[in-house]
Every structure is written in structure tokens, then in C-alpha cells.
Structure 1
Amino acid sequence: MSSLPLVFDAPRRGLPPTHFADLDPGARRAAVTELGLPGFRADQLSRQYYTRFENDPAAMTDLPAAAREKLAALLPTLLTEVRSTTTDDGMTRKTLWRLHDGALVESVLMRYPARGDSRERVTVCISSQAGCGMACPFCATGQGGLTRNLSTAEIVEQVRAAARAAARGDLGGGPGRLSNVVFMGMGEPLANYNRVLATLHRLIEPAPAGFGLSRRSITVSSVGLVPAITRLADADLGVTLAVSLHAPDDELRDTLVPVNTRWKVAEVLEAADIYAAKTGRRYSIEYAMIRDVNDQAWRAELLGDLLAPRLAHVNLIPLNPTPGSEWDASPKNVERAFVERLEVRGVSVTVRDTRGQDIDGACGQLAAAP
């Protein structure tokens, strides 16, 4: 299909100057030597950036002053904080970033305290595009349209800033360690495939060459770009795949997730099955619960029947309010009945713990309003 390259990776037009985080380890050493410095300075810079979360050369005091001055060329400012807003007793922090060309994106940092057998998690929800071109009508980001893809470094910088904020204790609960990254902010990650793939390598590469995060702690969400899902499976990175399904039938999904007019529910699930078979990882089905739209008993039963034989888990998301939307979240009794109909069919299901709703930082609310 001739248009597939546009699905995978839009042109670089409008992206910022090359940054250290755009480069793989070999390219880093080459860039440093081009500056007239010995190659090992690239390793020192990696340690500063990926383990100390430092992006200001002036603060890298283990490097000679002359080297710091030259290395500044590899660390252009990509993200400028416009404002940060907190809620949930300081456990949720949404940051609005201005990019070099004035485009705006948001990321959300969240701390989930340890409960029972589960360990504490510090998760950052990051954006892969400025805006989104998928046009899902219940999502504020999708309704705003697409501005452009983010560069690899613009995505990585969101993670570095989050790791630094966690380490400094900017979240309620004191200093902590970033443990999870979810590509569930602004944009469709797989529509910016090449740069998201490069970002994934930066996330999982062992320190000090990368952040050294667990593959299982990274989630890539997609509305169902089928060729890109199978391409990600072939990349064999073993990260978690989340599919934003939101309806089990094509008639409704054509409206809720317009890309369904190109790749139908059966094709999306088949691609997710290929991903599960190649990676051995269960995938997540994201399903926003919308009152009187997709929460009927028969849709719960159809979803359960579709997923029962599959290596899938359903994550129900109470719809978060967005400006001007006529839709609302399903009542709790309807939500509970939906859960029960899935469980009786043997489908694993949870209801997402909504965070940041009052600061427009929850799923579907990111609109990067100035």
C-alpha cells in the first residue's frame, strides 16, 4: 500500500536541531569526535544525561570546562516548561511544554503508592505528537487536530524531565525513581513510528547508554494502525501493547475511532494477536465507558466473546469530561455489570484508577491549552 510510509513516519519538516538524545551510542561518539573531543566524552555525557538526568552542560562538573562548552552544541533546549499543575495530594503533576517552534505538548507524572503486594510505581505519560490526527470525537487531543510529529529527543526529554522531577522529590511523597513510561499522552505513537522506536531503545538500553527501564514497564498505546503493530512485533522489543478499541463492533467503532474505516476490529485484534504470539506478552484493550453509547450489555457480551480466546486484558476507562462534549461516563452500576459480563466469559478486566481529572490531565483530556 503506497501510503504506508506516511502512516509509519511523517517527514522531519519542522523538527528541532539534532540533540544528543536523537543519537544511538555509535552516533554519539561520532558527534563528539566531530567537535574535536575524545570519544570517551560521549560516554561521560551519556552518564550525565541518562543516569543523573542532567541536560545542562554547565552543571556537568566532572567534565573539563572547555569540553562542557563544546558539548553544549549537542544539548539544545527542546522543551521549555510553561507551567506545572498538581493534584491528588501532589501525587499527580501535569506539565505543559513549549517546543522550539511554539507548538505545545503535555506530559503527566504520577505516583502510585505501594498497596498490598504491589510495589510503588512512578509513571510518566508522555506525548509522541503535538496534537493528534486520529480525530476520536470523545478525546480532546483528537479534536484539536495534528500539528506535527515530535522528534526522538523531544519524546526522550519528557522522560528525562520526569525522572529528574521524581528524583528531586517534586511529587508528593518525596524523592523516588521513575519506574514506568506509557505512550498515552498526546498523539498516536505508531503514526510517528521511527522516532517512537528510537525512543524505546533509549528507554530500555542499560545505563549509562540509556535509562535502563524494564521492557515490561513500558506501554505503547495505539488506536490500531495494523501495519505498524505488526512492524513493532517484528522489532522484538517486548514492551506492552495497548489497543484503544472502545467498541467491539465496526458500526460504532467507525464513529468512535475513525481509523476503523481503514482497519476493522477483526484486523486490529489479529494484529494484536500476532504481537502477543511474537512477544509472549498479553496485550491490553483500552475501552472508554461512555454512557448509552458503548456500555450496553450486548456490547459487553460481544467484547467478551471476541477476547475470551485471546491473550488480552481489558482496561475499562471511565470517560473523562472534555470541553463541549455531549458524552458522559457510564454510571457505576452499568460499569459493574459490564465488568461482570466480561469476567463470566473468562476475560481479565480492571477499571482504571482515574488520575488528574480535575487538572485536565486524565486520559483523553490533554489539549495543551496555553
Structure 2
Amino acid sequence: MDNILDLTLDELKSWMKVNNEGAFRAKQVLEWIYKKHIFEFKDMTNISKTLTQKLENNFYFGIPEIKEIYTSINDDTKKLLLEFKDGNLIEAVIMKYKHGNSICVSTQVGCRMGCKFCASTLNGMVRNLTTGEIMAEILVGEKILGERISNVVLMGSGEPFDNFENVMKFLELVNADYSLNIGQRHITLSTCGIVPKIKEFADKNTQITLAISLHAFSDEKRKQIMPIANKYSIKEILDACDYYIKNTKRRVTFEYSLVKDVNDSKEDAKALAGLLKNMLCHVNLIPVNEVVENSFKRSSKKTIEEFESILKSYGVEVTVRREMGTDINAACGQLRRSYIDSQN
């Protein structure tokens, strides 16, 4: 059986035709799912019993079980621990802003990129999530909130460009008017810098925001914390970003996790500013989330403010990410890992 959430409207229309049903039924079914959050074919009241039986014989709803919900007492951020039918666990984080509800979704179970400051990668990658499984994270989030989610960040566990085909199909599906109809400008995709995929993504000419996990100004320093730096240099990444900017006319966001005594000195700030000052970009400074399994500590508030000030003095647009959910381990992979450890 197939997960019906993996199908686009055209794919479900084709299935309907093959199974001697009207193509218009496909839109009816998907609207029940995405507009009304109905996850049982028998509850779709304008679908015939014959079609209901055919659907039940061929498809299932890949909606994960909610294992845990943690709600921050500080800012109402919710962290979800979700379990799929195969027993694999992922996390999603719901954040409430004045401009609407945002969700940070995972694209893989685990991650193989090996970034040293990230808990997602500690046990490596188990498998990719399908298009429908990524969609299901949003559906579960909306069900919990009882409200629409209007912004999506692909910044949870996993490297989106390491699951390229499923993620590209997800971006098509989540944006579709028959589905969740989330505008491309309300979607951000974060990558650690897989150069060929950045260029391939640029060729699709979307309005989706591209975020690059940079975290260092030099290849030497970046290799110490991000293994991907052994494959792609910062120059190659910046060249790919230039290609993206020219194709889309969109600015690139550079994520920079500030780690005490590793990449947070004034010299680091000046070197980073020199690297980016002439690029259409924005720097998002992130106080690193401390993980038990490594020795990285977050920079002091004073250091962060000085780093920000130096970038601004060079004309680089910069903000310090608002910290949300720190009391509930809202950083990637922390909840999943602690849950797995507690079961062993």
C-alpha cells in the first residue's frame, strides 16, 4: 500500500482514471485531507462506498503517532516527538509569532552530515523521509494547534539536499492551492552547502528562501566543525550562492552558530564581514545550542552583540536569532536522542 500523502493531484487523478473513477474525485479526496484534516476515507462524505473501498485497499495515511509534546513555559513553543509506522522517530517544532504560526520540519531520520554542534547527526542517518511524511509533520502540527500553519522552515533533523527529490516534491505539494497553499516566500530551506544541489535548486527559480549553514569564515576552521567542508570549499559555496542570487533575484541567508572560543572572536567577525559584504545576503547569528555529547558552549551576550556590531559596521545585514524553546530542548535532534537513550 502507498501513503496517499505522497501523491500530488495529478498523480491521484491518474490513479482515479486507471481505477475507473472520475478524475475530479482526486481533488475531493485531497481537500478532505488538507483542508479539513480528515484522515479516514470512510469519513469523506461525498465519496462513494465503492471508491472508499478502492482507496482503503490501496492507500494508507502516513500520519505519525505523537509520542511526546513539550510546551515551553517561556514562549509557547511546542516540540513534537513523532513516530512513524516503522518505529522511527523524528521531531518537529511549532513556533508562534505575531505574523503567524511557523513549523520547523525534519527531512530525514537522523543525518549523515556530521556537524559537530548538532544532535541530529550523533547516530548518523537512518533513512530519508518521503514527501508525504514531511507533509504529515505540518498536518499533525495544525491538528494540535487547531490553527493554520503559514510558515515552514526545513531546518529540523536531516539535510534537505541529501533527500533532494522528496524535498522538491514536498515543496511543490505544500505550495499547491488544493493542498496547504503555503506561499513560497513563507518557506525557508536550510542546507549545510551541497554545491551541486544549490545550483540545481537555483535552476528551479523558486521564491523559496535559501539558508546556508556557514558557521565559519575559512575552510580550515569550517572543517573543524563541519565535515562537508572537506568536500566543498567556502568559495565553491559562495559561487553557488551567487548563481542562486542571479537566477532568483533572492537574497541568501547565512546561518552562523556562535560557539565560545571557536568562531566568535572579533577577528572572526571581521573576516566573515569581508567575505560577505558585497553579496545580496543576510546573516542570522545563532547562539549555539549546547549538547551534552560535545564541549561547545554558547558565546556570551556581550560577545554576540560585538559580533553583530562588527558585521553591521561593514554593511552586512544581520540579526540575532530569537531563542525559542530552550527549556524544552528545541534544538535539532535533542529530544529524539534523549528519548531513544531512555528506552535503552
TM-score (norm 2): 0.93
Structure 2 residue 315 is the aligned partner of structure 1 residue 346: yes
Give, in angstroms, the shift of residue 200 of structure 1: 0.2
Return the alpha-carbon distance in structure 1 between the equivalents of residues 30 and 88 of structure 2.
27
Corresponding position of 1:356: 325
Which segment drifts farther, 58-67 or 179-188? 58-67
One-letter code of the match for 1:219? T
3-state SS of 1:37 partner: coil
Give, in angstroms, the shift of residue 367 of structure 1: 3.6
Structure 2 residue 168 is the aligned partner of structure 1 residue 197: yes
Greater per-residue helix proportion: 2
One-letter code of the match for 1:24? T
Q: Is the 8 A contact 2:16 2:22 kept in 1?
A: yes
Give, in angstroms, the shift of residue 214 of structure 1: 1.1
Deviating above 4 A after TM superposition, structure 1's stretches of 4 or more consecutive aligned residues are none
Which segment drifts farther, 186-195 or 62-71? 62-71
Return the alpha-carbon distance in structure 2 between the equivalents of residues 193 and 67 of structure 1.
33
Return the alpha-carbon distance in structure 1 between the equivalents of residues 15 and 84 of structure 2.
23
Where structure 1 has 5 or more consecutive residues not aligned to the other structure, the ranges are 1-16, 115-119, 169-175
Structure 2 residue 194 is the aligned partner of structure 1 residue 225: yes
Alpha-carbon displacement from aligned partner over 1:55-103 (angstroms, at most 9, x marks no partner): 2223322333443333233233342221211114572111111122221
Corresponding position of 1:95: 80
Return the alpha-carbon distance in structure 1 between the equivalents of residues 69 and 50 of structure 2.
34
Which segment drifts farther, 25-34 or 248-257? 25-34
Q: Is the 8 A contact 1:86 1:359 kept in 2?
A: yes
Aligned partner (choices 151, 155, 159) of residue 180 of structure 1: 151
Return the alpha-carbon distance in structure 1 between the equivalents of residues 215 and 173 of structure 2.
31
Corresponding position of 2:7: 23
Return the alpha-carbon distance in structure 2 between the equivalents of residues 273 and 142 of structure 1.
29
Corresponding position of 1:58: 42
Corresponding position of 1:137: 116
Sequence identity percentage: 35
Return the alpha-carbon distance in structure 1 between the equivalents of residues 67 and 53 of structure 2.
27
Give, in angstroms, the shift of residue 21 of structure 1: 2.4
Alpha-carbon displacement from aligned partner over 1:134-188 (angstroms, at most 9, x marks no partner): 001111112221101111111111122223333x1xxxxxxx3211000000000
Structure 2 residue 91 is the aligned partner of structure 1 residue 106: yes
Alpha-carbon spacing, 1:189–1:130, altered in 2? closer, same or farther (3 Å):
same
Which segment drifts farther, 309-318 or 141-150? 141-150
Alpha-carbon displacement from aligned partner over 1:337-368 (angstroms, at most 9, x marks no partner): 00011000000000111111221113564545
Superposed CA RMSD in Å reads 1.7
Give, in angstroms, the shift of residue 262 of structure 1: 0.5
3-state SS of 1:26 partner: helix
How many residue pairs get aligned? The number is 338
Return the alpha-carbon distance in structure 2 between the equivalents of residues 196 and 18 of structure 1.
18
